Amino acid sequence: MLKKIFGFNSTLESDGSYSPSKMSLKLATANKTDFENIAYQKYQGEKSKILIILTEDKNMGMANGTFFSTGNHPVETLLPMLHLKNAGFEFEIATPTGKPVVFEMWAFPQNDKYVQSIFEEYNNSFMKPISLEAEVNQLLNKTESYAAVFIPGGHGALLGLPEDKNVAKVLNWAFKNDLYIISLCHGPGAFLSTALNHQKFIFDGYQMAVFPDSVDRMTPKIGYLPGKMPYALNERLISLGAKIVNTKSDKTVCIDRRLITGASPLASNELGKLAATTLLNNL
């Protein structure tokens, strides 16, 4: 009763899933981001493409049997895209089977003109993305055109991507060909795919910033999540040899060799700046 009175109950959606409570949205989202519209010296080389892998799934099954209405976090996706676009890079949008990208629209910053603009610019690509299942081999034959692979977060990044053999194929290709790999928040969950079938985890020994398990364990109390997570992402990454550098869901960003990561939605602007400047300075 008290949770209902203070707005801490998760919100039931029409398909039976739950989106974050009104109070948790006030605490965890904003109508405008901290995006810095930087005029970079634009990249002029051949490696101008960035492959963005996004989830096509919406509902995450929680430990208590409820479903969380998730997808890719719009700020985590679009702020880094804004910086990389300003730096002269272009994007190829992909999902596992070519179904439309799913976003956590309850987290969309409605009063942010920059985010709104790039969302509208790429909306057709979000609605009709490349299918990794159908086109992964063609993509991997164009190594000379690519600078990086970007996997944004949102809890939806844990739906399908960690178990997808084509995601693993892309990450191994990027790793072996010295492309940059960019991710943040729950996006590194996709890295688990590289350890499928007892393969060696490609990021064993790497430092990375990831959304903390401790925060995921806390958020059901305020109705952000409708129940406990199905598993602890940090624990799984650490068990494979990753070294997590942050303990809070803050603006922490990290670069280790050609891996660039950020801790949370709050790190989206910093991650975008770090990725843009790193690619411009090293390609």
Look up residue 80 and give its two tokens: 């880094």
SS3 220: helix
Tokens in use for 31?
């109508």
Q: Can you tell me the mean pLDDT for 45-71?
A: 96
pLDDT category of residue 204 using cuts at 50, 70 and 90: very high
Q: Is the pLDDT of residue 2 over 80?
A: no
> At 1, is the pLDDT very low, low, confident or very high (cuts 50, 70, 90)?
very low
End-to-end CA distance of the chain: 57
Q: What angle do CA 147, 173, 162 make, to 5 degrees?
A: 105
Residues 68, 74, 79, 80, CA torsion sign = positive
- The structure's pTM equals 0.95
**Angle at the Cα of 202 from the Cα atoms of 201 and 205, rounded to 5 degrees:** 85
7: pLDDT confidence band, cut at 50, 70 and 90? low
Instruction: Check pLDDT > 70 for residue 256.
Output: yes
**Rounded Cα distance, 104 and 70, in Å:** 5
Looking at the DSSP bridge assignments, the partners of residue 50 are: 91, 148
3-state secondary structure of 155: helix
Per-residue confidence (pLDDT) for residue 23, from 0 to 100: 86
Q: Residue 66 is encoded by which pair of tokens?
A: 């409820």
pLDDT of residue 99: 98
Contact 194, 229 (CB under 8 A): no
Task: Identify the structural domains of the chain with CATH numbers, from first to last.
Answer: 49-282 (3.40.50.880)
Q: How high is the mean pLDDT of the chain?
A: 95
> Does the structure show a pLDDT above 50 at 158?
yes
Residues with catalytic annotation? 185
Distance CA 261, CA 283 (A): 18
Mean pLDDT, residues 71-93: 98
pLDDT at 5 over 70: no
For 68, phi then psi, to 5°, come to: -95, 130
- Tens-digit pLDDT profile for residues 231-244: 999 999 999 999 99
